[in-house]
Amino acid sequence: MKLGFVIYSNDAEVIWNVFRLANLALQEKDKVKIFLLAKGVEYEKISAEKFDLLKLAQEFIDQGGKILACGTCLKLRQKDGSQLCPLSNLKELYQLVKESDRLLTF
């Protein structure tokens, strides 16, 4: 199954649970993409010991998951893309919506 997750929250616990679910889906042999939108692009700076988002994001990538991040949202925050928050665009979000069997937003 092709799953798409759109994260627009900067709540560490919410994002932590999304990455946990995404990693489980990859282990179940689903294809998973995560699109970071609006406040979601801030997740790297809110990672903490209790909610180690960077560790879960790296596990997600290592298992073959793909992360995309809204370039406009990053620019509004004077941020550049990174390995864990790669620069993307609305066309790729549209493609994610179009190709996903299931799309979840958080």
Measured distance CA(60)–CA(32) in Å, rounded = 9
Mean pLDDT of the region 81-96 = 96
pLDDT at 48: 87
Q: Does 67 score more than 90 pLDDT? A: yes
Q: Does 69 score more than 90 pLDDT? A: yes
- 37-55 pLDDT, tens per residue? 999 999 999 988 899 999 9
Which tokens is 95 given? Answer: 């493609």
Q: List domains and CATH numbers for the chain.
A: 2-105 (3.40.1260.10)
CB 33 within 8 A of CB 5: yes
Mean pLDDT, the chain, whole residue set = 97
pTM (2 d.p.): 0.95
